[in-house]
Amino acid sequence: MNYVNNKLKNITIAWVSPSMKLGFYIQPVLRNLDKIVPKIEIFTSEWPGFVPGCEDAFKVNVVGKYKEISVGKTNAGYKRIIQLLPLEIIPHLLKFKPQVIFVTGLSLWTLLVLTLKPLTKWRVIIIYSGSSPNIDMSDSPIRIFSRRLMAEYADAFVTNSQGGKAYLTNILKVDQAKVFARPYQIPDKQALLQSSAINDLDLSNNQHPVFLFIGQTIHRKGLTFLLEACLLLENQGCCDYTLIVIGDGAQRQELESWIRERGLENRIKFEGWVNYGSLGEYFQHTDIFIFPTLEDIWGMVVLEAMLFGKPIMCSKYAGVSEMISPGDNGYIFDPYDPTEIAKLMRCFIDNPNLISSMGHKSQESIAYHTPEAAAEFLTDVQSFALKH
């Protein structure tokens, strides 16, 4: 299909997302979508600013203020929340007059957009990033009923994963023909390398192989069990490695104290928060990426590591685990089992040749997933919605 044609140039698109606070990864895709369909504007209540390389690539409208309230606690996964979203999204959209609306999630904004659809003739495409227990809420009959109702009136759906597709078709009863499953949240390597905050990062004093963790230091990310795996390695006399932890959060002080009490501070290094544009330096200078999350609907950081040719150790509870071929470009593990994590870490420690061979496979498998290809994929979905 020739994506850049006069018809597409005349289409007006609204990308409606309650929060883009952690949405650095979608910006390169939107930048490329804007090249295909120039009349696109973003509407959100939380905007963190542009990532390097995407500055002013598209217009962003910040609408009202984002608020949320917790409606339930979980031991390991996402908080269950209700988003309190500003109603002024409607006059903003009516003024913009989009033909197609991409709306993320199944929120109040999605409901409002679908309610006005009969009058405005909008084509509505729902973005459902992926599936996980606390996001799907399959145990809540009220939520499932309301979601099925919204799903009935949408023109198409986009999801990163086959797990997301299964939820949409099996639980929300969406027609399979309307569901498009393909990774659309795709990182841009250059955006990860464009910050001047870190130049020529030197990790030569660290024992290799160097394992890398990037994420919030909160319980859901599974860091506690990863550190317990490191203690198991220490007790086995296995000290020939380093773990670098990038991120900040509620557990950081507790975990750093835990490490010091067990004498692991020479093995495990906390770097704290790192600017997005500087993460590429860490990917380049480390050896294996490890993602021990207890619940993640996707896991963009895994794709970022694959871009830099890293083998992946990935939790089975991450949607992005679909991108891992065990024994080929990495391993999938149970994050609640420190013994299994330690065993897989030893595979790389004892067999360093695995690092280059698996890393090469990671780079091969991500090569077809680019921001340009993702933008063309979204354009295909848009064309489907307009035709049907």
**Helix-helix angle 223-235:252-261, to 10 degrees:** 10
pLDDT single digits (tens) 321-351: 999 999 999 999 999 999 999 999 999 999 9
- Averaged pLDDT score across all residues of the chain: 92
Tens of pLDDT along 31-68? 999 999 889 999 999 999 998 888 999 999 999 998 88
**The domains spanning 6-186+370-387 and 191-366 adopt the same CATH topology:** yes
Q: Are 371 and 188 in contact (CB under 8 A)?
A: yes
Q: What are the structural domain ranges in the chain?
A: 6-186+370-387, 191-366
Please name which of 132, 119, 126 lies closest in space to residue 152, comparing C-alpha atoms.
126
Residues 85-105 pLDDT 10s: 989 999 999 999 999 999 999
pLDDT above 90 coverage of the chain, percent: 82
Q: Given CA atoms 165, 170, 174, 176 in this order, what sign does their dihedral have?
A: positive
Looking at domain 6-186+370-387, its CATH architecture is 3-Layer(aba) Sandwich (3.40)
The Cα 110–Cα 124 span in angstroms is: 9
41: tokens are 């504007």
Nearest one of 280, 304, 274 to 193, comparing CA atoms: 280
Q: Is the pLDDT of residue 153 over 90?
A: yes
CA 311 to chain centre: 18
- Residue 79: pLDDT above 90? no
Decide if 41 contacts 15 (C-beta within 8 A): yes
Q: Which residue, among 277, 306, 301, has the nearest Cα to 291 in the 3D structure?
A: 301
**Are β-strands 268-272 and 242-246 bridged in parallel, bridged antiparallel, or unpaired?**
parallel
Q: How far apart are CA 59 and CA 57, in angstroms?
A: 7
Q: What is the DSSP letter of 167?
A: I
- CATH fold group of domain 191-366: Rossmann fold (3.40.50)
The pair of three-digit structure tokens given for residue 203, joined into one six-digit string: 């990790």
**Cα-based angle 288, 293, 299 (whole degrees, multiple of 5):** 75
Q: What is the pLDDT of residue 2?
A: 46
Q: What integer pLDDT is reported at residue 41 of this predicted model?
A: 96
Q: What band does 4 get if pLDDT is binned at 50, 70 and 90?
A: very low
Q: How far is CA 233 from the centre of its chain?
A: 30
Higher per-residue pLDDT: 270 or 21: 270
